[in-house]
Structure 1
Amino acid sequence: MAALATTLALAACGDGGSGGGATGGSPTPTPSTPTPTPIGAAAASRFLGQATLGATKAEIANVQSASYDGWLTAQFALPRATSHWDWLVANGYSAATFINSLSGFDQTIWRQMIVEPDQLRQRVGIALSEMLVIGVDALNLNWKQFAGAAYFDVLLDNAFGNFRTLMGAITTNAAMATFLTFLGNRKANPSTGSQPDENYARELMQLFTLGLYQLNPDGSVKTNAGTPLETYGPADVSGLARVFTGLNLASSDSTTPDRYRVPLVMTAAQHETGASTFLGTTIPAGTEGMAAVNLALDAIFAHPNVPPFVSKQLIQRLVTSNPSPAYIGRVSAVFADNGKGVRGDLKAVIRAILLDTEARDAAALTSTTASKLREPVLRLVGWARAYSATSPSNAWAIGDTSNPNSRLGQSIGHSATVFNFFRPGYAPPNTAIASAGLVAPEFQITNELSVVAYINYMQALIANGTGDFKADYTTILTLAADSQALIDEVNLVLANGQLSSATVTAIKTAVDSIANTGATGPSNRVMTAILLTMASPDYLTFK
């Protein structure tokens, strides 16, 4: 594309009063019902930038018509899309030839993110996958694509459920069990000195539920004389690890992937029968294995750290990297009690996050802290959804995009470690972000090489697609002759209305340098507007 040099240059830029009592028999006035404030298209698109994997013109209109709350209610009511597992089976990946491959995993992940209508569930599922992490490449199993699919189905099936139920589902999932090495975990053997594997016990507390330090309801760290108070210690890890012994696959039949879809089962002979003590809780000796697991999860779920710890990370994934303590506190309170005495109601938590004043207030658009770097994967999916990208053959040949030197530096399900591609507390060192005491998680996978790789990769994808996966620019091509209308459309749908006037002017100059003539003129103008938008700091920094 002719405007690559302009792209690189642009990407490098910046960084009521009370009434008196009634007299003389006058009737009491009937309070008037406030007229709902109309939702502008840009505000609706911004909402969709938080609540979906990418806005479309149709969804913008839906939000404007239904209201934010109405749109959420409609999304909560949508049935689950075709499961990843069922899609793999329907497309032939359960054939014996695929037993030792990952074929099909990336295809089903990309397809579902891009085309399925249950976009709120998809967005929350991806957020959960970055908190409760597995990496399919490291699974010590055959049928890895099915094991990974079953895990992502667990996240999506429970995205609107209760967090305690989700805790149980990931604990008895084969992919998680092999990724964090507690599959077949055995009780201590005094004759050999072996001890239960502590990996899952540690990460369940550190990364999935509690964090390293005790928290106040607003997410701030509790201290004693200025020293953070630790949430747990080595003895808690060892005690909890005793609980997660004896969990195994429900079947020894490896000729089909079916055993990875069902929960793990307890092998009594491998389970620790003695008492297990952790976090001030003791599970009595002789407690049946699965009952012990459930008691342990109940104890963790009841810990006061869980509401602020989980709430903050969900806010970071959906809205902003640096939510205020008050924002965290409001959402944390809903996590602790949804108003009906229920703890861990994710549907209520999601609604609280997305309808909070800090999420909806337009003041965030001018704030220096209320923003987040768009994840690379969300950039690709946002483009694909905005321009109706499809794969007629169902090949979805996007593949693993985690290579930072030639692709996105991120690919859902391919994290090399349980710490995800980026950590929630990461702050780029020696930057104004770090100096201000802020975090910017996505910057952990952002550097000079990855920025150039992203632009080059997206340039090729925007122009040519990959395989038969291609965008459909038919509608937006009708605006090619009018550069302002073209850029306004790209800004609204793809950039959620967040391009500054200076950025719009710069992109317009580049587009106007391309003649709207010949066989390729209109398409070059459209693709230049899209690429330069996706390279701009205004787009990359979502507010």
Structure 2
Amino acid sequence: MLHDDNPIITAEHRAPGSTPPVLPAVPTVTTAAPFAVLTPAILLAACGGGGSNGTASAAPTVSAPVAIVRTAPTPAQASRFLGQATMGATKAQIADVVDKGYEAWITAQMALPRATTHWDWLVTNGYNVAANINNTAGFDASVWRQLIVEPDQLRQRVGMALLDLLVVGIDGVNLNWKQFAAAAYLDILLDRAFGNYRDILDAITTNAAMGSFLTFLGNRKANTRTGAVPDENYARELMQLFTLGLYQLNMDGSVKGGATPLETYKPEDVAGLARVFTGLSLATADSTTPDRYRQPLVMNATLNETGSASFLGTTVSGGGMAAVKTALDTIFAHPNLPPFVSKQLIQRLVTSNPSPAYVARVATKFADNGSGVRGDLKAVVTAILLDTEARGDAALTAAAAGKLREPVMRLTGWARAFAVNSPSNAWGFGDTSNQSTRLGQSMGRSQTVFNFFRPGYSPPASAIAAGGLVAPEFQITNEQSVVGYINYMYGLVANGTGDTKADYSDILQKAADTNALVDEVALLLAAGQLSAATIAQIRSAVDTVSATASGGPTNRVGIAIMLTLAAPEYLTVK
């Protein structure tokens, strides 16, 4: 059995190119040799010096119309697709994609209803008791459970992509029953993941968690006596982060105006829009149960601005929900919306640097799904996942293609591949946002509305920046987070946490066959994209442990998994 009595690497072993640390001996096997290959690879990946993100070049412009490959995918192609469309591949889902093909699999996934909402799961598991009125108990467990075991994996993945864009973090929600308020918000995104983006805008604008997080809950109209003006937080972030961005865009996501970008809105637009979002309040004053946080906000007429408000070339008057509707309609109709939202969804699902043509193809679907409907997320998600830049093999060797695998996806990828479960429903991973000891990321726990990483982030003084590319996930990738990730995953792979453990019974059947073992782990976790050199290193490490030694099969499996999780080719999604 692998043990996690000691960390794999420590702060003393952080510098790229330094001597790899020697692990303590584990009973029945010696692990120093197998894991010695781990440190240089993972540190190189963290600093942008290894793997596909180490060399940057400009993203190609693809002018040809989208051409969907309709031939049956291979297992490796199916696993690659699932790395973009789910929270992690499984053997069963790989077989399902091979059998159905990409389009039919997407159609089947979009037809799946949610088994349970986060809200209902919290209620069913007894978290709506008075003892939890001022804590977050149950929230993380519900999130991890759905991401790992629910069958509607495309919905889960798209929902998390939407959460990266439309950010609410539970710790910034200044309400009681935080777990329920945040659950109601996540349910909005998951329930509408294949709906219309306009409906999402309605729902988040009248959601209590968003109202608290962006401080417009109970927002008051201007007071001429005191000089107080409405809170502008939501009005600004709604335009800047959720819908339009700072600068006017072409349909391919490029900025209009060349060296002098054209602003999308001005301070007076923010001030005018803020007047519209006054008066939105909780539906009831009853705080003895969490139920009011599931109800849409209502308009408190005494706080609402009924005078005229101008923004984005539109003027409304009379206030109330009619003014809110007009404001959201105006934003939804803005030409920036399709490229702005489409590009960020591509970044979250497929590649950090989509070509302008890729963005334009998806944005065109956002603007019109082919039936005259704007904002149809079914059409948008399908276009993203079936585009030639997502499915074509050219991306496997293109330096600008792909993205850094975000930390949560590394954990869920392992968890889904090896059937992690929690019989008690504790789902003990908890809050994993600590960089030193966990992942540096935890879904639903961003500290700011800017998310854990910005879509336009590029590591300074790197080949990525020199190539004019971005790598959002590198914003939370540093020496500390690399050490924390490896140590944390080592413990999870070895022992799980509490009753939240993997089931290795299937992969153990291949433990004695090094080639078969390493190949299956590489297929499940890395879509078969590990280089020949990396495969050879992992096989060599596995072979240092005898399959007939006491605990040998388990240790061989653990080595294959950990070295794959540390490989630069795994840490990048192609």
TM-score (norm 1): 0.95
The alpha-carbon distance between structure 1 residues 466 and 37, as it changes in their structure 2 partners (threshold 3 A), is: same
Q: Which amino acid aligns with 2:484?
A: A
Q: Which residue of 2 aligns with 1:385?
A: 416
Q: Which residue of 1 aligns with 2:368?
A: 337
Distance 1:317 1:296 in 2: 27
Distance 1:278 1:78 in 2: 40
- Per-residue deviation at 1:496? 1.3
User: 1:157 aligned to 174, 180, 191, which one?
Assistant: 191
SS at match of 2:441: coil
Q: Is the 8 A contact 1:181 1:200 kept in 2?
A: yes
Q: Which amino acid aligns with 2:335?
A: P
Distance 1:35 1:127 in 2: 25
User: 2:313 aligned to 280, 293, 298, which one?
Assistant: 280
Q: Which amino acid aligns with 1:93?
A: Y
SS at match of 1:253: coil
User: 1:350 aligned to 381, 394, 400, which one?
Assistant: 381
The alpha-carbon distance between structure 1 residues 35 and 42, as it changes in their structure 2 partners (threshold 3 A), is: closer
Q: Is the 8 A contact 2:221 2:305 kept in 1?
A: yes
SS at match of 2:218: coil
Distance 2:41 2:513 in 1: 22
Q: Is the 8 A contact 2:367 2:374 kept in 1?
A: yes
How big is each residue's C-alpha offset from its partner over 1:179-208, in whole Å with a ceiling of 9 and x where there is no partner?
000000010010111000000000000000
Distance 1:155 1:450 in 2: 28
Q: Is the 8 A contact 2:368 2:374 kept in 1?
A: yes
Structure-to-structure mapping, 1:253-268, within 5 angstroms: 253-268=286-301
Distance 1:36 1:69 in 2: 8
Question: Is residue 89 of structure 2 the alignment partner of residue 55 of structure 1?
Answer: yes
Q: Which amino acid aligns with 2:194?
A: F
Q: Is the 8 A contact 1:491 1:497 kept in 2?
A: yes
Distance 2:474 2:35 in 1: 23
User: 2:348 aligned to 311, 317, 320, which one?
Assistant: 317
Q: Which residue of 2 aligns with 1:519?
A: 550
SS at match of 1:228: coil
Distance 2:35 2:281 in 1: 53
Q: Which amino acid aligns with 2:126?
A: G
SS at match of 2:37: helix
- Per-residue deviation at 1:269? 1.2
Q: Is the 8 A contact 2:522 2:529 kept in 1?
A: yes
User: 2:336 aligned to 305, 316, 335, which one?
Assistant: 305
Question: Is residue 449 of structure 2 the alignment partner of residue 418 of structure 1?
Answer: yes
Q: Is the 8 A contact 1:312 1:323 kept in 2?
A: yes
- Per-residue deviation at 1:315? 0.1
The alpha-carbon distance between structure 1 residues 330 and 442, as it changes in their structure 2 partners (threshold 3 A), is: same
Q: Which amino acid aligns with 2:282?
A: L
The worse-fitting range, judged by mean Cα deviation, of 497-506 and 306-315 is: 497-506
Question: Is residue 138 of structure 2 the alignment partner of residue 104 of structure 1?
Answer: yes
- Per-residue deviation at 1:497? 1.4
Distance 2:70 2:365 in 1: 25
Q: Is the 8 A contact 2:438 2:484 kept in 1?
A: yes
Distance 2:35 2:519 in 1: 21
How big is each residue's C-alpha offset from its partner over 1:12-52, in whole Å with a ceiling of 9 and x where there is no partner?
3442xxxxxxxxxxxxxxxxxx9952310000110000000
Q: Which has the higher contact order (CA 8 A, sep 6+)?
A: 2
- Per-residue deviation at 1:351? 0.3
How big is each residue's C-alpha offset from its partner over 1:436-464, in whole Å with a ceiling of 9 and x where there is no partner?
00000000000111111101100000000
User: 1:271 aligned to 304, 326, 329, which one?
Assistant: 304
Distance 2:251 2:90 in 1: 36
Question: Is residue 492 of structure 2 the alignment partner of residue 461 of structure 1?
Answer: yes
How big is each residue's C-alpha offset from its partner over 1:256-305, in whole Å with a ceiling of 9 and x where there is no partner?
0000001000011111011110011111x224x11110100000000000
- Per-residue deviation at 1:518? 3.0
Structure-to-structure mapping, 1:139-538, within 5 angstroms: 139-223=173-257, 226-283=259-316, 285-287=317-319, 289-538=320-569
Distance 2:462 2:489 in 1: 27
SS at match of 1:519: coil
TM-score (norm 2): 0.90
Distance 1:203 1:352 in 2: 27
Q: Which residue of 2 aligns with 1:65?
A: 99
Q: Which amino acid aligns with 1:40?
A: T
Distance 1:275 1:334 in 2: 35
Distance 2:496 2:183 in 1: 25
Q: Is the 8 A contact 1:10 1:532 kept in 2?
A: no
Q: Which residue of 1 aligns with 2:114?
A: 80
Distance 2:309 2:375 in 1: 25
SS at match of 2:310: strand
Please report the RMSD computed on the Cα atoms of aligned residues, expressed in angstroms: 1.1
How big is each residue's C-alpha offset from its partner over 1:286-343, in whole Å with a ceiling of 9 and x where there is no partner?
24x1111010000000000000000000000000000000000000000000000000
Q: Which amino acid aligns with 1:43?
A: Q
Distance 1:9 1:186 in 2: 56
Q: Which amino acid aligns with 1:151?
A: Y
- Per-residue deviation at 1:502? 0.8
How big is each residue's C-alpha offset from its partner over 1:150-194, in whole Å with a ceiling of 9 and x where there is no partner?
000000011000000000100000000000000000100101110
Q: Which amino acid aligns with 1:458?
A: M
Identity among equivalent positions (%) equals 69
How big is each residue's C-alpha offset from its partner over 1:354-393, in whole Å with a ceiling of 9 and x where there is no partner?
0000000011000000110000000000100000000001
Q: Is the 8 A contact 1:8 1:452 kept in 2?
A: no
Q: Which residue of 2 aligns with 1:25?
A: none
Distance 1:182 1:286 in 2: 19
Structure 1: stretches of 5+ with no match in the other structure:
16-33
Distance 1:6 1:65 in 2: 37
Q: Which residue of 1 aligns with 2:42?
A: 11
Q: Which amino acid aligns with 1:411?
A: S
